[in-house]
Structure 1
Amino acid sequence: MARAWVYDRATTEDFAERVRKAKAAGRKPPGRWMVQYYDQSGKLRSEVAANKNKAEARRDKLAESLAAGTYRDPALSKVNVSEMAEKWLSARHDLKPSTWWKYRALLDNHVLPAWGDKSLSAVDHEDVAVWVAKLIRSKEDGGSGLGASQTRHAYRVLAMVMEWCVPTRLLTNPARGVKLPIPPEAEHVYLKCPQIERLADAAGTLRTKYNRPTAGAAVNKALILLLAYTGLRWGEAAALRVGRVDLDTRRIRVATTFYEVGGVQHEGLPKTGKKRTVAFPASLVPELRPLVAGRADDELVFTTARGQSLRANNWRVREFNAALKASGLKVPGLTPHKLRHTAASLAIAAGADVKVVQLMLGHADAAMTLNIYGHLWPDRLDEVADVVDLRRTEALASMAA
């Protein structure tokens, strides 16, 4: 039995009367041509077509999709993007709160204003490409003026919402494969050891306009040294507890990080969701000892003079930037996060392989480490070729003997 067929409603006895009544009442007459079919569950469904040719074309398409198992109920794809976006976000219990709120902002500011009122089936690949181009276009040219990275983030949220609807509501994701702008390559800043020490010394001696130590002066030096020589993220260092610092083994257990949502500080797992252990140089033991000796394990290592936790923006503006100025270092673009790059460069120069650097920095995988710092590893092609040549020469000599 056919799974789909065209039905001419004019063959029914009452169709002509229904058409007459509709016209008399000023309503649109019922369509003559109808496509009927049994869906995958065996339920009888009907769709009205504008004319016989369109009815037959729809019948053939339905028959093909039913036979291939690719049929999707059209009603399921008529749901608005905004409804599915809210369901998708509410289902993302796997996200860190900071990431959840980041997605929330991208939806509210960029995705839903453009797509929220459209049905899933109305989202077209070409239109998504045009939307991406508009996001990065300057405001003077009628665009949103976003940077390449922010544009990619907004696109990714839309793509994830649409992917969530595959295969139950959509056969394929219309956002998949859109060409995205390439972010400019980040300028990494790598300090040398004397520069690190100058910056740390200046940070430890900062004073207010009333000639009193700044709120972070007592911890600034140790904090900057720790960031520059271990590669901890700033939030990880700020959330470091006394009990996670082992001066004897020179190990730090990175178990939590600080992050802010709406101006409120929260503590959660590190960025990748995984805890890790890092080593620190023996020369940092005297710097850290006064901050951990005799204190409870659950106390923060780095606090303000009043015992409060450090806040990222406050510390950067009032302590780090002030120390950079006081040190006299002329290093454009230097931020607390750039000290993490410095730590990576020092480790690589000391002979660390990619796996060691990955574990030290807490990257999700070694590929990420190579993408960021691959250019720092020395070119050892000649060294490898020379060793291979030596082995071959030895083999040839042995065979000739």
Structure 2
Amino acid sequence: MANVVKYRTAKGENRYRVRYRKPDGTQTDKRGFRRKIDAENWAAEHVTIAKATNSYVDPQGGRVKVEALWPAWIAAKRTRCKKSYTNTLEQEWRVRVGPKWGSRELSSISNSEVQEWVAAMSAAGLSASVILRAEALLSGLCRQAVKDRLIGADPCDDLELPKKKRKEHRYLSMTELIRLAETSGWRRPIVLVLGLTGMRWGELVGLRVKDANLERRRLWIRRNVVEVDGELVVNTPKSDKWRQVVYPAILDDDMRSLVDGRKPDDILFEQPGGGFLRRTHGPKSSSSWFYWAKKHADIDNELTVHDLRHTAASLMVRAGANVKAVQRQLGHTSAAMTLDVYADLFDDDLDAVGEAVNAMLLENVGKMWAKETSEAA
């Protein structure tokens, strides 16, 4: 229940304040109303009705600074998110979000101001991915403030945000893939496995000898190894689900040489001298083995190791694999995702559909024409 009380200011002016208890039982008040009716209306809307409908927002909550929410928010993320992801969030906070918004009170942030921030990042030439990540972090903190009843609404709602530009995939032909593998030295099996199975680099790095089934030509994807701040971290696959991938018979000899005489828990593809493989440097870095492999194979320098996954997808589609099989091999969450990512690979299917429908029409039209001709005779 709220009480409206009259009081005098230091200047001797009459004012009204609303005294009430918050949902946690503590007492507070709202001062400064010139008219009693204004105080009563405020009390009805923001206290009586709000508490009854469980929509109460603490008027003082908006004075909390954004930086005060950050420790608990990122700690919650660490309980369920992978280290590589939380490290990205921490970097984003240090570089863009914290310096801009950390010292601001929640209630002082307006939607238009956040929109100006987004526009400024875009004007500065930052990529859509970077802008979306920064905005999502700020919005995540503000949504938490809304859940905690510190503010009534997220100031990041309904923003005009940039769209990610889809990177054009680079697909190698089978001839190019084999040529690239042959110029990769001892990494030849690595290039072939990536380019023929579609697994991710971290998934290949995490394979153990026991994950290889030579009889069925299967590899079990049970873990993913990523490099975070120079440290290799072993985690679950990207979708948090184990899966099997099939490899072609052309790799039988390579896989047998990797498995024979080794212990089940040995790393299947390991660095010379032992240990997990390390990720290559950038695709244009002359200190990268992949750079020189491409150069000697006469393949354009824009190709990345991850593009070998796209090559595998294209070879599977070209070989006649259906979208569901491609989805399972690549570890996508749904066939719709596979179609979205590789829509260009299925263009030929549209041509086939058109040809099939046309043939069906011609066949039926021919039957109808023959029937009409016989009836006329």
Q: Which TM-score applies when normalising by structure 2?
A: 0.85
Counterparts of 1:268 and 1:39, CA distance in 2: 44
Q: 1:33 to 1:391 in 2, by over 3 A?
A: farther
**Distance of 1:351 and 1:313 partners within structure 2:** 32
Is the CA contact 1:239–1:257 (under 8 Å) kept in the aligned structure 2? yes
Match of 1:265 in 2: 232
Q: Using a 3 Å threshold, how does the CA distance of structure 1 residues 250 and 88 change in structure 2: closer, same or farther? A: same
Residue 372 (structure 1) aligned to one of 338, 341, 364? 341
Asked if the contact 2:295/2:301 (under 8 Å) is kept, the reply is no
Q: 1:72 to 1:318 in 2, by over 3 A?
A: same
Q: Pairwise mapping of residues 125-164 of structure 1 onto structure 2 (< 5 A)?
A: 125-138=111-124, 145-164=125-144
Determine if the alignment matches structure 1 residue 339 to structure 2 residue 308: yes
Cα deviation, residue 47, structure 1: 0.3
- Of the three residues 243, 267, 278, the one matched with 1:300 is 267
Matches within 5 A, 1:170-189: 170-189=151-170
- Residue 73 (structure 2) aligns with: 88
Shift of 1:67: 5.8
Q: Deviations over 1:75-119 (max 9, x none)?
A: 333322112121111012100011111111111111111111122
Percent identity (aligned): 32
CA contact (8 A) 2:200 2:306 kept: yes
The structural deviation recorded for 1:226 is 0.4
Contact 2:280 2:290 in 1 (8 A): no
What is aligned with 1:77?
A: 62
> Is residue 288 from structure 1 mapped to residue 268 from structure 2 by the alignment?
no
1:245-264 equivalences in 2 (<5 Å): 245-264=212-231
1:299 deviates by 1.2
- What is the CA deviation profile of residues 197-232 of structure 1, one whole-angstrom value per residue up to 9, with x for unaligned ones? 10000112xxxxxxxxxxxxx2x1100000000001
Q: CA deviation at 1:156?
A: 1.3
- Determine helix, strand or coil for the equivalent of 2:147: coil
| 2:332 is equivalent to residue 349 of structure 1 | no
Q: Residues of 1 paired with 2:6 and 2:100: CA distance?
A: 40
Structure 2 CA distance for partners of 1:391 and 1:171, relative to 1, 3 Å = farther
Residue 363 in structure 1 maps to residue 357 in structure 2:
no
* 1:69 CA drift (Å): 4.1
Query: For structure 1, which segment, 386-395 or 286-295, has the greater mean C-alpha deviation from structure 2 after superposition?
Result: 386-395
Give 3-state SS (helix, strand or coil) of 2:93's partner: helix
Q: How many Å apart are 1:153 and its aligned residue?
A: 1.0
Match of 2:183, SS state, is helix
8 Å contact kept, 1:31–1:48: no
After superposing the two structures, state which structure 1 stretch, 40-49 or 165-174, moved more: 40-49
Instruction: Rate the CA distance shift 1:388–1:128 in 2: closer, same or farther, 3 A.
Output: farther
Instruction: Please say which of residues 279-288 and 367-376 is displaced more in the overlay.
Output: 367-376
Q: Secondary structure at the match of 1:49?
A: strand
Cα RMSD over matched residues? 3.1
Shift of 1:361: 1.0
Give 1:287 deviation, angstroms: 1.9
Distance 1:44 1:307 in 2: 65
Q: Secondary structure at the match of 2:309?
A: helix
Contact 1:31 1:49 in 2 (8 A): no
Residue identity matched to 2:32 = A
Q: Secondary structure at the match of 2:227?
A: strand
Distance 1:134 1:89 in 2: 26
Residue 6 of structure 2 contacts residue 14 of structure 2 at CA under 8 Å; is this kept in 1?
no
Residue 74 of structure 1: SS of its match in structure 2?
coil
Gaps of 5+ in 1: 11-18, 24-28, 139-144, 205-217
Amino acid at match of 1:156: A
CA distance in 1 between partners of 2:106 and 2:367 (Å): 67
The residue that corresponds to 1:104 in the other structure is: 90
Q: Contact 1:35–1:49 (CA<8 Å) still a contact in 2?
A: no
Distance 2:51 2:176 in 1: 69
1:14 is matched with: none
The TM-score, its normalising length taken from structure 1, stands at 0.81
Match of 1:166 among 146, 162, 168: 146
1:306-345, Cα deviation, whole Å (9 max, x unpaired) = 223211035964321111111122x241010000011111
C-alpha distance in 1 between matches for 2:172 and 2:83: 33
Residue identity matched to 1:318 = S
The one-letter code sitting in structure 1 at the alignment partner of 2:306 is H
Residue 46 of structure 1 and its aligned partner are, at CA, apart by 1.7
Q: Counterpart of 1:200 in structure 2: which amino acid?
A: A
Identify the residue that residue 16 of structure 1 maps to in structure 2.
none
- C-alpha distance in 1, partners of 2:279/2:198? 16
Q: 1:120 Cα shift?
A: 2.3
Aligned length: 362
2:375 match: none
Partner of 2:292: 322
Structure-1 separation of matches of 2:234 and 2:331: 17
Distance 2:99 2:3 in 1: 40
Measured in 2, the distance between the counterparts of 1:341 and 1:357 equals 11
Q: Which moved more, 1:242-251 or 1:369-378?
A: 369-378
